[in-house]
Amino acid sequence: MKIGVFGTGMVGTTIGAKLVALGHEVVLGSRTRENEKAVAWARGVGKGASHGTFADAAEFGELLFNCTNGKGTLDALQAAGARAMQGKILLEVSNPLDFSKGMPPTLFVSNEDSLGERVQRAFPATRVVKTLNTVNCQIMVDPSRLPEPTQMFVAGNDPEAKRQATSFLREQFGWQHVLDLGDITAARGLESYLPLWVRMFGALGNADFNVKIVRAGG
């Protein structure tokens, strides 16, 4: 499959490398076509990996991943272009973290709105599925690094997009438990988990963890 990954940070490069290892072709998108990290990433990953602008990645991908910094997400997606993203599924991985006042970060949007909703509103013809934002990027692409199955979530307005996203997460990355939380407003909860995630990270001393839902009667 041809996949566009927006973002040259640890999330974009980790997801991109995993996708290429699985046999997909990936264009890693950046603000600049010759972004140093993207060039090095493509060289290191090899056949199937290339790089370009956000627009290049959007044009190329049949499936898209948004792995950009939350504060730059809307600008990055504007650069990617509404036309190139039209009708495509966008797995929305970003978090609205604000580090401007130091640690721990705050959320620059929450409660009555979310970054996932802002993305869906800005790009109504793109099928946004909020997912993967609740775990570290190593776990995103390899949940089996944890000793037992844990929980992934999806949220979005398009049921078929969520079904396809869930199959992709299961078959490609190995997520056995994917819970559909409903429409894109559920991104509020998924993003509001981050302050708790940051505290668990501090208390546990590393990012290699996730949550598991345990229910009575089912």
Ligand X SMILES: NC(=O)c1ccc[n+]([C@@H]2O[C@H](COP(=O)([O-])OP(=O)(O)OC[C@H]3O[C@@H](n4cnc5c(N)ncnc54)[C@H](OP(=O)(O)O)[C@@H]3O)[C@@H](O)[C@H]2O)c1
Binding site for ligand X (CB under 6 A): 7-12, 30-32, 35, 67-70, 72, 75-76, 93-95, 97, 133, 136-137
The answer to whether the CB of 186 falls within 8 A of the CB of 158 is no
Closer of 30 and 120 to ligand X (Cβ): 30
The set of residues, in sequence order, having a beta carbon less than 8 Å from that of 88 and lying 6+ positions away, is 58, 61, 62, 63, 64, 126, 127
Closer of 6 and 168 to ligand X (Cβ): 6
Residue 50 C-beta: closest distance to ligand X, Å = 14
Closer of 75 and 160 to ligand X (Cβ): 75
Residue 218 C-beta: closest distance to ligand X, Å = 29
3-state secondary structure at position 208: coil
Residue 84 C-beta: closest distance to ligand X, Å = 16
Closer of 10 and 125 to ligand X (Cβ): 10
Residue 217 C-beta: closest distance to ligand X, Å = 32
User: In Å, what is the CA distance from 94 to each residue of 109, 187, 213?
Assistant: 12, 11, 23
Task: Quote the DSSP letter at residue 71.
Answer: G
